[in-house]
Structure 1
Amino acid sequence: MIPYGRQSIDEDDIAAVAAALRSDYLTTGPRVEAFEADLAQATGAAHAVVCNSGTAALYIAARALGLGPGDVAIVPSMTFLATASAPFLAGAEIVFADVDPDTGLMRPEDLERAIAEARRRFPEGRLAAAFVVHLNGQCADMPALKALCDARDLFLVEDACHALGGATRRADEPEAAGREARVGDTRWSHLACFSFHPVKTIAMGEGGAVTTQDAALAEALRLHRNHGMVRDPERWRHRDMGFDAGGEPNPWYYELETPGLNFRVPDVLCALGSSQLKKLDRFVAGRAEVVAHYDRAIAGLAPAILGPAKVPWGRPAWHLFAARVDWATLGVERGAAMRLLRAQAVGTQVHYIPLHRQPFWERRYGRQDLSGAEAYYAAALSLPLFAAMEYADVGRVVQSLEKLSAGAAQPRSP
């Protein structure tokens, strides 16, 4: 079976995990800070705060920005559940933005329309933040989105869970300008969130992180990662409880600044993360080679099946190969096609069901018409893509698609 996604684990990864298991720490220990330093270096950020999932990363990002009741956050409809659930669980109301029907990315004009809708729907609320998603590993137009957010005093958060290892630049600058920003350096945002789920570019089993250039935001992220607990003596309010008669901090003491949850990540997973990060460039390059081979191999299936639409700025770190399928032209429904492909040992998936069509959000905000998101969803089919995938695997996938297309073209028996 060729799955739609899979981790790449080598002997050095296993050795790193084994060394962590033999150490004195399984949960929070020195490998957490080591991984954070490695990730900050890999992304170009001043600070990286690791946590136990991409969902947790989005949540602690929302909390660090102070999102809460009375606030409104804008989220593109084409993304996984967590991008909207995280700021909502922090207390904010959500307004969904449309996306480009070909790339699935939120454009500046989509954000502008969502801002107008937020002000119409929540005239008494504080429009506080926009979350942008680098879908499939391609970056949105960050400089343009950041300019919009700056003009309206909005925080801008990157959901970069698909995009570790990618880079972007201004849309009006040529590739040779050499002014690319690495995803996660937050040149054009306040925070960037990552996931290290096994199908992502690097794997930790489960894990996530937030990067930023802002030291105060980094401190807030650490607070919300660990119960809202303060262990820094300089920040304690009850000095009579926190210090002894000689003015020394009591070693057991801590204070609760704000109620929070446990989003810490174990040392053993950070050991795997640091080992995987050493291979980030290789993983990104391997995925790019597979995508290029796919593009050549499926060219003969147009117009029924097309590869992902590409944006002209930056370098993607491909997470998904999101084919665009005209199901009517192909002559088969998507569910039936996925079952037929699975019977030929080819795994596929659909990324994603538009959030504004999810029952919870429909109950809360009513039915919405976001035609770009619905058009993207209607055509989407994620084909297998992972760093260790070989050209022969791509050939098998495309041959299965060719059989599917040929089978659908045959007249059915009466």
Structure 2
Amino acid sequence: MKTTSFPVIPYGRQNISEKDIHAVLEVLHSDYLTQGPKVPEFEKKMTAFCGASHAVAVNSATSALHLACLALGLGPGDTLWTSPITFVASANCALYCGASVDFVDIDPKTWNLCPIKLEEKLHQAEKQNRLPKIVVPVHLCGQPCDMEAIHRLSLKYGFSIIEDAAHATGASCKKETVGNCRYSDITIFSFHPVKIITTAEGGMAMTNQKDLAEKMALLRSHGITRDENAMTQPPDGPWYYQQIDLGFNYRMTEIQAALGISQMDRLQEFIKKRQQLSQRYSQLLKDLPLTLPFCLPDYDSAWHLYIIRLQKNQISKSHREIFEALRTEGIGVNLHYIPVHTQPYYRAMGFREGQFPEAENYYKEAISLPLFPDLQEADQNRVIDALNRVLGMGQTHKT
């Protein structure tokens, strides 16, 4: 297969400044590499930004999802519902707790979990006494779900809500920042290198409920406490600690937290650049046989991803041919995501194709284009020109 002589443009990439490096070096020269002052400082910075009461920093968003489920009491006999178009962690977190998983199909315009389909499914589940304990809406690409509608349904049907905002650090809905938990019990963020800000690996759980925050903080560190008020018996001495629950080693390190604190200072800069690049994509791709991202009025996406969908009835090549041709051109496209219910592990549980048709149609058409703050216009032009060539449009970008 012919390959380009140009360097590959990745679909995502972290931005690390000298200030970030200095922040990490300061920790390396300090007395604490873990369980020091930086993690609480990072948590405080996130609560101030989001407007939530509590934050619990952990080593990944997957860990945050797991702890959130445990804090909300998810266990055997319970069910969690989420979107099929997400990374598998949004569903796996239920299985970690011994619970079951089901899915709600996506909205054909926003590609997020559809509130209308959610209401229809809840109505049927109530008749069968099979209502979910937790619903996990996923803010795909950084665009918030319709949380007001989902929250109204939670009040009627009695389920808890975990917002999977792994893509949505810095996003907002009607001027309210994602992570304030106004319409959810817990919101989780990811700080993986390709996300909006990074701690290398890392995650955060936000909540306004003190008991949930305390439970997650306890479970992230083996279920061990040194708080005398939480102990089940008087301490033997000042050295004493107790394990009062079965927890995990999900702690964030001081090194990660220091990087996160430094990255937070440029969060708005990152969001602004992603917005500008996304607007430019939308302007320069509007005449191609593509379905471009749709944003709800008064919703501000964090633009973690810029996903296009092929209008296949107007294109002679297959989805795979276009994807592979773009890769050959040095465009590091990706696909977010393969519907979770079609994965072999979930098929073995009884899920099958045809259950969630909108998600399956999305998968047959979606391609993620390169998008990150350091993406230069010249490289973005390469992406646009490559798309024109591959789609057989024979035109180049307009400046």
- TM-score of the superposed pair, with normalisation by structure 1: 0.90
Counterpart among 307, 314, 320 of residue 329 in structure 1: 314
**Secondary structure of the equivalent of 2:392?**
helix
Residue 132 of structure 1 aligns with an amino acid whose one-letter code is P
- Offset at residue 116 of structure 1 (A): 4.1
Once the two structures are superposed, residues 66-121 of structure 1 have per-residue CA deviations (whole angstroms, 9 ceiling, x without a partner) of 11111111111111100000122112211111111232111211212332454577
**Matched residue, 2:3:** none
Question: Which residue of 210, 213, 218 corresponds with 2:213?
Answer: 218
Q: Which of 192, 198, 203 is equivalent to 1:197?
A: 192
Deviation at 1:213, TM superposition (A): 0.9
Q: Does residue 102 of the first structure (1) align with residue 89 of the second (2)?
A: no
Q: Letter of the 1:64 partner, please give it.
A: A
Q: Which of 332, 355, 373 is the aligned partner of 2:340? A: 355
Structure 1 counterpart of 2:265: 278
Superposition deviation, residue 342 in structure 1: 1.8
Query: Cα 1:293–1:407, aligned 2, differ >3 Å: closer, same or farther?
Result: closer
Task: Identify unmatched segments of 5+ residues in structure 2.
Answer: 1-7
Deviation, 1:397, is 0.3
Deviations 1:263-318 (A, max 9, x none): 001100110000000101110011000000001111221xx223212222321111
Give the structure 1 partner of residue 99 of structure 2.
Answer: 92
What are the within-5 Å matches in structure 2 for residues 71-82 of structure 1? 71-82=78-89
**What is the aligned partner in structure 2 of residue 9 from structure 1?**
16
Match among 248, 256, 259 for residue 243 of structure 2: 256
Query: For residues 227-266 of structure 1, what are the structure 2 equivalents within 5 Å?
Result: 227-239=222-234, 242-243=235-236, 250-266=237-253
Aligned to 1:377: 363
Contact 2:64 2:203 in 1 (8 A): yes
Aligned twin of 1:172? none
Identify which of 148, 152, 155 aligns with 1:143.
148
Structure 2 vs 1, CA of residues 281 and 351 (structure 1 numbering), >3 Å: closer, same or farther?
same
Percent identity, aligned pairs only, is 38
SS of residue paired to 2:287: helix
Aligned residues of 2:80 and 2:135 also touching (Cα < 8 A): yes
d(CA) in 2 for partners of 1:150, 1:323: 35
* AA in 2 matched with 1:182: T
Report the secondary structure of 1:274's partner residue: helix
Where do residues 9-48 of structure 1 align in structure 2 (5 Å cutoff)? 9-48=16-55
- Other-structure match for 2:4: none
- Residue 398 of structure 1 aligns with which residue? 384
Q: Is 1:389 the equivalent of 2:396?
A: no
Structure 1's unaligned 5+ residue stretches are 170-179, 244-249, 410-414
Alignment partner of 1:127 is 2:114: no
Q: Give the match's secondary structure for 2:13.
A: coil
Three-state SS of the structure 2 residue aligned to 1:17 is helix
Structure 2 distance, partners of 1:238, 1:408, is 76
| Greater than 3 Å deviation, 4+ residue runs | 116-121
Residues 139, 298 of structure 1: alpha-carbon distance in 2 compared, 3 angstrom cutoff = same
SS of structure 1 residue aligned to 2:137: strand
Q: Distance in 1 between matches of 2:249 and 2:394?
A: 51
RMSD: 1.7
1:346-390 CA-partner distances (Å, limit 9, x unpaired): 101111111111122222133251111112212110000001212
**Could you tell me how far 1:140 is from its partner in structure 2?**
0.7
Distance in 2 separating the partners of 1:114 and 1:255: 44
Instruction: Please point out which of 351, 356, 375 is paired with 1:366.
Output: 351
Number of the residue aligned with 2:165: 160
Contact 2:131 2:157 in 1 (8 A): no
Query: 2: CA distance between counterparts of 1:120 and 1:335?
Result: 42
Shift of 1:168: 0.6
Preserved CA contact (<8 Å) 2:112 2:145: yes
Distance 2:83 2:117 in 1: 9
Q: CA deviation at 1:345?
A: 1.4
Superimposed CA distance per residue, residues 26-78 of structure 1 (whole angstroms, 9 cap, x where no aligned partner) = 12211111111111111111111100011111111101111111111111111
CA contact (8 A) 1:84 1:94 kept: yes
> Could you tell me which amino acid in structure 1 is paired with residue 390 of structure 2?
L
Alignment partners' CA distance in 1, 2:239 and 2:380: 57
Q: Measure, in 2, the Cα distance between the counterparts of 1:231 and 1:372.
A: 50
Contact 2:81 2:101 in 1 (8 A): yes
The AA in structure 1 aligned to 2:21 is I
Q: How many residues of Structure 1 are paired with residues of Structure 2 in the alignment?
A: 387
